[in-house]
Structure 1
Amino acid sequence: MFKNALSNTLLLSKYLLRWIVIVSPVAVAIGSMVAFFLWLLNWAILFRFAHSWLLYLLPAAGVLIYFLYKLYGTSAERGNNLIIDEIHEPGAGVPKRMAPLILFTTVITHLFGGSAGREGTAVQIGGSIAHLFAAWFKLDEADKKTMLTAGVAAGFGAVFGTPLTGTIFALEVLTIGQLKYTALFPCLIAGLIGDITVSVWGVHHTPYHIDVVNTGQDFYSVHLPVSLLLLAKVLLSSAIFGLVSMLFAQTVHIVKATALKWVKKSWLIPFMGGIVIIGLTFMLGKPDYLSLGVQAEHPGAVTIVSAFQQSGADLFSWAWKLIYTAITLGTGFKGGEVTPLFYIGSTLGNTLAGLLNAPVSLFAALGFIAVFAGATNTPLACTIMGVELFGGEYAIFFAIACFTAYFFSGASGIYSAQRNIEGKLSLGKYTGKLFNRYKP
């Protein structure tokens, strides 16, 4: 018995050491590329701030992106969905040019004012580099899947400074209702090293802050750790967060389908998308909904950071950002969806806090993670993201918000390659059984 235990311990140690050795150089490479991407992206955004006329070139930038993918993109056009499919069923592979192509085109999108994110770029960088290293290491099919998953974890963890979130996101985003625990350790190592690498390069992430909130309640001389009224407000808001995340995913799909139906020349689709973005900006009279929405282009601009403050967002800031991003991504510009989802969620949380007389910074934080959770079907990862970004004091509210939004966000999300093994649709089956059991 002792010999068996010792043998198993040695085998486990060998397994862990092997993955540390294999994943570490991959995560360093991914973290370095993500650090360069974040530096370049920050430069592009600040350069556009100083040269606002660049927005007028957005239609031409869209056409350039179209032809870059037409000539060099091949299967890389599918982006994150290609990575997810390759993890499920290795086949055509991930093109080596995916990483530099998505990096360059995302920077172009932001340089000229397109409303997009950065997580898609980081995930594709991670997947592309991981696939390249897997070929160099001559890994078998099972290990190649694990390596690709670890690449996603490294890219996501590095771009947001959330290594544990990156770990769980990489596992949770693949299949609704199922986690592949065999890849947990490699993903954790990759996420951690990727994040450390970005820090070593001197690239920093935006800090967020929640004001101190008294979440308890005295109820008939008994102190409850959670206020029932506050809990009711959180549940109501979280259901709305889930519905808005579903609206976002559906709007992007509708924009894509409508553009393909009515615009016969494919290269004209991004051109028209750029024209619409320019028109909307003129109509609103402010550039607040362009690009990432993290940094303020002018004093008083609505940003993710301002949403954590009283009067830091307009009543429909979340809706305008949703429209801008759906048009940008739906017409072929490149980037990601997650940072715009943070913007939509935090500004919606700000609005709901005002309507419900609730703590603004707390509800901005809940919207930040919950809309993301609903759109990507990753409530566990988003709960952990809340803890990593905002601290653990309000973890119970983070969990309630993310899982409630997840259930209210519909059957699908922003990733069409995501599989559904035991997801939200099963809830109706079990609920039906429960009610049928108690029928008179």
Structure 2
Amino acid sequence: MKQTIALLTYLVKWTLLSIPVAVLAGSLVALFLWLLDVATATRHDQPWLLYLLPLAGVGIYFLYKKLGKNAEAGNNLVLEEIHQPGAGVPFRMAPLVLATTVITHLFGGSAGREGTAVQIGGSMSDWLSRLFKLKAEDRRMLLMCGIAAGFGAVFGTPLTGAVFAMEVLAVGMMRYDALVPCLAASVFADIVCSEWGIHHTQYLVTTPFVKDLGLAGFLLLGKVILMGAGSGLAARLFSTLMHLVKQQAARFIKPGWLIPVVGGTSIIVLCWIVGTRDYIGLGIPGITAAFHTGGADTFSWLWKIVFTVITLAMGFKGGEVTPLFFIGATLGNTLAVMMGAPVDLFAALGFIAVFAGATNTPVACTLMGAELFGTQHILHFAIACFTAYYFSGKSGIYSAQRMTLPKNR
């Protein structure tokens, strides 16, 4: 009886604590997504804004230098505070990253949304933990709720958001004690975001699932494994270049405000070289097109890696995940054409598998496939994500992520 009462008390406590996190994170994410739409539309209507990208980068640099302090660490600060509580996640992180991400997109940087949403959730949850005077362990749990709420709301994938928050902290370990709090926070935040009138992009996979134990079934399975391996290698390339470019820029480009000037100028020059602006911004039209035959150029995925690495490693703000979706979907399109596989299915596989490899979260990404594309291909989703996880190497895009168990013993 005592155990039952304790369990019910725990569930009620964390459901009640998750609600304010969800309301704040879901509302701010809704505002953020609306502002992103406005910024993207404005950039399309005023293409000359791209030429102000270096100046915008300087503005972002001085905003963080003046106001950012430890908020500059971004997602890694949130993860570190869960591992080892310290000075906390500052309240200013949320408005600062929201504003600078919108600026990045308005002037043509190639960035995503997840990083901003996670930082919003982490900042709000840490503020609430201080307001409620929670002890250290409960503060860790509420920070995980903030990650789940931000992620679930920004992509409209509440189940993925919950599992991502538990899986991203450490490679080889999940915090199952946070399952109910994270799920409650993610679900409520997604509802709140939707109630503000935010709608998420819909992707369609029409290829039917056939459980064929014959030659055709084994051939498709082999192609899915190759797709997963290619996605893992693409994720490894992305992560390696992100860390390398950031280190080398800080080493060789002085003073610090000159780094975003070089980065912004490089983006402008690259747009001239490739003759298109398809690789700046979120790249949602490119992702959608990749689900159709002829919807992606052979090296679209590589160009998106270059544009995104320069943007994020050289001082601009935003997330990595939506660009990873672009990279994966276009890579899937390319490999599907080469191997004679279903284009829409392989675009979906790349979409989630590159993300799985870059973040070391194969379970969350498998569930994302089910939430975004339906459950009929969940076996193929799992195979691609798990394969990408092994091929992506030891590190990922989050330097604060800990290695609890090696991928290969």
Q: TM-score category by the smaller chain?
A: over 0.9
- Matches of 1:371 and 1:37 in 2, distance apart? 25
Aligned match of 2:25: 30
3-state secondary structure, aligned to 2:290:
helix
Of 95, 116, 121 in structure 2, the residue corresponding to residue 100 of structure 1 is: 95
Give a deviation string over 1:224-273, Cα, whole Å, max 9, x none.
9x800000111111101100100000111121122122212110000010
Counterpart in 1 of 2:321?
Answer: 338
Displacement of 1:28? 0.7
Asked whether the 8 Å contact 2:207–2:342 carries over to 1, the reply is no
- Cα deviations by residue, 1:109-167 (Å, 9 ceiling, x for unpaired): 00000000000000000000000000011100000000000000000000000000000
1:122 partner amino acid: A
6, 11, 18: which one pairs with 2:13?
Answer: 18
Which of 65, 73, 77 is equivalent to 2:72? 77
Gaps of 5+ in 2: none
TM-score (norm 1): 0.92
Superposition CA RMSD, Å: 1.0
**What whole-Å deviation, never above 9, does each CA across 1:174-228 have from its counterpart, x for those lacking one?**
0111111111110000000000001100000000000123534363xxxx9x800
One-letter code aligned to 1:406: Y
Q: Which residue of 2 aligns with 1:227?
A: 217
- SS of alignment partner, residue 305 of structure 1: helix
Q: Does structure 2 retain, via aligned residues, the 8 Å contact 1:213–1:359?
A: no
> 1:423 maps to which residue?
406
| Cα pair 1:215 1:230 within 8 Å, conserved | no
Q: CA deviation at 1:7?
A: 2.1
| 2:279 counterpart SS class | coil
Look up the match of 1:263. Answer: 253
Return the offset for 1:14: 1.1
Q: Give distance in 1, aligned partners of 2:406 and 2:35.
A: 38
Match of 1:121 in 2: 116
Does residue 389 (structure 1) correspond to residue 384 (structure 2)? The answer is no
- Provide the residue aligned with 2:128 in structure 1: 133
Q: Which has the larger radius of gyration?
A: 1
Name 1:39's counterpart in structure 2: 34
The C-alpha deviation readout for 1:355-408, integer Å capped at 9, x for no partner, is 000000000000000000000000000000000000000000000000000000
Aligned with residue 48 of structure 1, among 36, 40, 43? 43
Distance 2:6 2:89 in 1: 31
Contact persistence 2:207–2:344 (CA under 8 A): no
Contact 2:209 2:377 in 1 (8 A): no
Q: Which amino acid aligns with 1:84?
A: L
Q: Distance in 2 between matches of 1:49 and 1:401?
A: 35
Distance apart, 1:350 and its partner CA: 0.2
Cα distance in 2 for partners of 1:95, 1:154 equals 18
Map residues 373-388 of structure 1 onto 2, 5 A cutoff. 373-388=356-371
What is the match of residue 159 of structure 2? 164
SS of 1:340's partner is helix
> Which residue number corresponds to residue 237 of structure 1?
227
CA distance in 1 between counterparts of 2:151 and 2:110 reads 19
State yes or no: 1:197 paired with 2:192. yes
Q: Distance in 1 between matches of 2:264 and 2:70?
A: 24
- Alpha-carbon spacing, 1:11–1:113, altered in 2? closer, same or farther (3 Å): same
2:391 to 408, 417, 426: 408
Contact preservation (8 Å) 1:162, 1:195: yes
Shift of 1:20: 1.1
CA contact (8 A) 1:96 1:129 kept: yes
Q: What residue number does 1:307 align with?
A: 290
Distance of 1:251 and 1:157 partners within structure 2: 28
Q: 2:85 aligns with which of 76, 90, 108?
A: 90
What is aligned with 1:289? 279
Note if 1:320 corresponds to 2:295.
no
- Quick one: distance in 2 between partners of 1:16 and 1:233? 44
- Write the letter of the residue equivalent to 2:86: G
Within 1, Cα distance between the matches of 2:213 and 2:144? 47
- Matched positions, count: 409
Cα shift readout 1:14-45 (whole Å, capped 9, x = no counterpart): 11111111111111111000000000011000
Q: Which residue of 2 aligns with 1:365?
A: 348
Q: Distance in 1 between matches of 2:360 and 2:328?
A: 15
2:339 equivalent among 356, 361, 366: 356
Q: Which residue of 2 aligns with 1:279?
A: 269
Deviations 1:332-370 (A, max 9, x none): 100000000000000000000000000000000000000
TM-score by length of 2: 0.99
Aligned mates of 1:155, 1:199 — CA distance in 2: 13
Distance 2:93 2:260 in 1: 20
Contact (CA 8 Å) 1:248, 1:322: kept in 2 or not?
Answer: yes
Label 1:217 to 1:21 Cα distance change in 2 as closer, same or farther (>3 A): closer
Describe the shift of the 1:218–1:120 C-alpha distance in structure 2 as closer, same or farther (beyond 3 A). closer
Q: Which amino acid aligns with 1:418?
A: Q
Structure 1 residue 423, shift from structure 2 partner:
3.0
